[in-house]
Structure 1
């Protein structure tokens, strides 16, 4: 278990993660595709939204509990699925335990380094995330394993396209941690002794495999072997999405929706919910921040299915802004990875506590007793902030 000291903000967790992680590991997590326009806008857009706080008469107690994606949670925050969490030996299991301890749902990537069975055991409120790869037979096999493990829902991720690189350079990620790789990487690892010792105590190097892509107990493909399968599989059609939703037969979330027309097609395809997401800036660069796109999507389909938001959330006030603009919950990605790197399971719990405190503080400031009382009127939206994508009727465009 990594040494953990309390941090008061996610930004401090990120600074500690940077000091603890080998540079290539940190850079793999840091930012999005190409120039990083979307990555930066995801965070900056929250700063453009304002509050108008009260100075007296605020409620003495606030309720943060909510229900989203058919799950009761202590606050409107969820763990977004992220792949191969080599920032800490316990990886996704530590994150799942932390989420369970704080009463929030867990998202597990199909590219995760830990088996779905172990993660569900750590947090029964686990969603299994899937990329469209290998065709319907392969997808059905993965869904059946997830069902047998006891996951509460499936997240189909469609907001990830092949990126040709980053302007600041893409770190070289090894295909597998074999002996040769460990020898060539050892100088970098030794310069981060605490991170190195965390893994040395386990007797195993960082796991760069994807154990959830085949039947339980089968050979786990390497990360890039799995990545290659995804790249060689044609993108899903709307018929494929409808097939997945029907095949799963339970809570089914389509992740990656930023356009109104896509949101409406998703409803027609039978999904239970959509996540307004641009893969944290790792999809097509210059896509607008998700918080800019959220209100139009909520207006189009929010009365029919749950809408959640993923992208740029670093503070509890960000969560409040997202909920006020119609999201049932906000998903966090890099925020909890910084906590995991900085302090293992306690570090993730710390991040969740920071967000909870920020949500409570924002509710108090604007005079709301319950997260369900939030409305768009609680947020100051500057002119030109919103983006309404995928509509042909000019009268529909939000201002």
Structure 2
């Protein structure tokens, strides 16, 4: 039997690709249009170098921090992702893994498992919401999350405005029924281990969104039903963001900030934290990598609110680079989904352990005893690397 342990996130991705039906895997790696932003999210980290020391290094390193009132064993958080058809336990397995490794769990309102199930296994759960439906409905969802034990709210405002993909989008069914099963049988049968995992549970991949079920009862909408509701809901204003933050009254993150002026507006709206994010490259293609936008945003508002980075994290050294440039922590998405696909809950724990090891090695090599000592002086930042969006007029090519 092959060793279920893997040494890198890249290996987790290879195993996920080998295990998952093509459509499921392609949904995980999807990016809008040409995929310029997806590529930059990854490549930007490779442009940053380290300036290490060789002696007088610390025997022990402190890796813990806190974000939104929750202690973290390392500066890593689980980013909320939509319906997880990669493993039968879905978000519950991810939440258990996060709890076992001492980090927070972000649960999407489009998740395949309920806030009640997830918060029951991880007492550091943040519930993520989109601006979908009326204000009354939004408050009902928020209060349900509060009653379930959610410790904070994440408001995502950078959902895809650009849905085309040059290489073609994976076909995702609106529901799983007999007709769908027959249609997808050829690619599913090529991945018998994935099929067997679901078969053992007596369940099929669930494309409904239980966290969006009507408060008065009734069936939960499918992913595409929820998407349609979002598409028909007027987009939120800054006043709407401030209103929702006030209704929640606790720890509140605004996710999707890429500009300094937006970061300042978020701070003025009373948020606790912001996530510098471009939705994993699934928004407006050509948006730069979050790590490029991070320094200017952290400098502008980092003393007033907590700043985290979401996008392109594949190794512990990436985490260290983000912290050195002003992030309190990072959020991971695809990395843990690949771990989940590769080996369930243990695979997610494996990914977190890989990141921990890389963080510790980088902090050691940089001569620090704590992640809190990291600064931009630890990095080699090439000229022209950063993007100070929303500060000065954008340069036009001539």
TM over 0.5: yes
Q: Which sits farther off after the overlay, 212-221 or 94-103? A: 212-221
Residues in 2 aligned to 1:227 and 1:331: alpha-carbon distance in whole angstroms? 23
Once the two structures are superposed, the pairs formed by residues 1-399 of structure 1 within 5 Å of their partners are 5-214=4-213, 215=215, 218-392=218-392
Residues in 2 aligned to 1:117 and 1:4: alpha-carbon distance in whole angstroms? 34
Residues in 1 aligned to 2:71 and 2:220: alpha-carbon distance in whole angstroms? 33
Residue 225 (structure 1) shift: 0.3
For residues 257-309 of structure 1, what are the alpha-carbon distances to aligned partners after superposition, in whole Å with 9 as ceiling and x for unaligned? 01010001011111111000000000100000000000100111111000000
Residues in 1 aligned to 2:3 and 2:77: alpha-carbon distance in whole angstroms? 22
Tell me if structure 2 keeps the 8 A contact 1:4–1:344: no
Residues in 1 aligned to 2:321 and 2:372: alpha-carbon distance in whole angstroms? 12
Tell me if structure 1 keeps the 8 A contact 2:49–2:380: yes
Residue 202 (structure 1) shift: 1.0
Which ranges in structure 1 are unaligned for 5 or more consecutive residues? 395-399
Residue 164 (structure 1) shift: 3.1
Tell me if structure 2 keeps the 8 A contact 1:4–1:342: no
Q: Which sits farther off after the overlay, 61-70 or 149-158? A: 61-70
Instruction: Indicate the SS of the match to 2:17.
Output: helix
Tell me if structure 2 keeps the 8 A contact 1:4–1:347: no
For residues 183-219 of structure 1, what are the alpha-carbon distances to aligned partners after superposition, in whole Å with 9 as ceiling and x for unaligned? 2212211110000000111111101010001338641
Residue 12 (structure 1) shift: 0.3
Tell me if structure 2 keeps the 8 A contact 1:88–1:195: yes
TM-score (norm 1): 0.96
Residues in 1 aligned to 2:41 and 2:279: alpha-carbon distance in whole angstroms? 10
Residues in 2 aligned to 1:31 and 1:126: alpha-carbon distance in whole angstroms? 26
For residues 146-200 of structure 1, what are the alpha-carbon distances to aligned partners after superposition, in whole Å with 9 as ceiling and x for unaligned? 0100100000001113333211110110001112211221221111000000011
| RMSD of Structure 2 on Structure 1 (CA) | 1.3
Residues in 1 aligned to 2:106 and 2:199: alpha-carbon distance in whole angstroms? 27
Tell me if structure 1 keeps the 8 A contact 2:52–2:378: no
Residues in 2 aligned to 1:304 and 1:362: alpha-carbon distance in whole angstroms? 28
Residue 137 (structure 1) shift: 1.0
Residues in 2 aligned to 1:80 and 1:377: alpha-carbon distance in whole angstroms? 28
Residue 4 (structure 1) shift: 6.7
Instruction: Name segments (4+ residues, structure 1) moved above 6 Å.
Output: none
Instruction: Indicate the SS of the match to 1:288.
Output: coil
Q: How many residues align?
A: 392
Tell me if structure 2 keeps the 8 A contact 1:4–1:346: no
